[in-house]
Amino acid sequence: MQVSFHGQSCVKIKTKRHTILIDPFITGNGLSDLKAGEENPDVILLTHGHNDHVGDTVSIAKRTNCLVVAPNELAVYLGSKGLNTHPMHIGGSYTFDFGKVKLTPAFHGSMFEDEDGTKVYGGMPAGILFMAEGKTIYHAGDTALFSDMKLIGEFHEVDVAFLPIGDNFTMGPEDALIAAEWVNAKKVVPVHYNTFPLIEQDGEAFAKKIKTGQGVALKPGETLNI
């Protein structure tokens, strides 16, 4: 299995048979190495309804008819736009043909602004546990540090954890180091930083401070084999 980082919180997972995109904020993301019109995922997974996470979901999904898995309210809204969606909610899991998805808590907000300016409540924000081919990936989404992250580490052997470090809107590097210790992943990748001035951080410095597992500050387009 391959995982790659593409700026902000966008992550691509390639299994033997499927390509999964998480939070595909591509257009307008100055750090992204992708082009929305060239992406052909089988599935898009969304953590919450902010535009820097929903990103190009509508255009990609309309073109490819890929499945979009999202928190319930966001999935219902995207379904009303003609997308093929599967709604989920916090604590729930579902086994698809491409792998198992479980939504975890995330302490944040969720509001999607449509092209016409309509503001839509996106439901509760979430993190994602993705399990396939004997591997487990944890994408924390946008979140503060919270103590139940310990349970994720206790009940799951996480191969890669994607943790936000940008501060201001999410946990910063100091709190993310605690999260990394609690999740106890084999590899920890910082996300949600340097896209905007308010969230500028040193990803390399954060990665070097990881004590449990290996910290890896991926540059956009770089890949890990797990």
CATH number of the domain residue 35 falls in: 3.60.15.10
DSSP 8-state class, residue 182? H
Residues 74-128 pLDDT 10s: 999 999 999 999 999 999 999 999 999 999 999 999 998 888 888 989 999 999 9
Looking at the domain assignment, is residue 225 inside a domain?
A: no
pLDDT for the residue numbered 180: 98
pLDDT for the residue numbered 202: 98
Looking at the domain assignment, is residue 224 inside a domain?
A: no
Q: Residue 6 — very low, low, confident or very high, per pLDDT cuts 50/70/90?
A: very high
Q: What is the pTM of this model?
A: 0.98
> CB-based contacts of 112: which residues, under 8 Å, 6+ apart?
49, 50, 51, 54, 74, 77, 119, 120, 122
**Total tally of structural domains belonging to the chain:** 1
Domain that holds residue 174: 2-218
Residues 176-223 pLDDT 10s: 999 999 999 999 999 999 999 999 999 999 999 999 999 999 999 999
Looking at the domain assignment, is residue 97 inside a domain?
A: yes
Looking at the domain assignment, is residue 64 inside a domain?
A: yes
Looking at the domain assignment, is residue 133 inside a domain?
A: yes
Looking at the domain assignment, is residue 103 inside a domain?
A: yes
Phi first, then psi: give them for residue 106, nearest 5 degrees. Answer: -150, 135
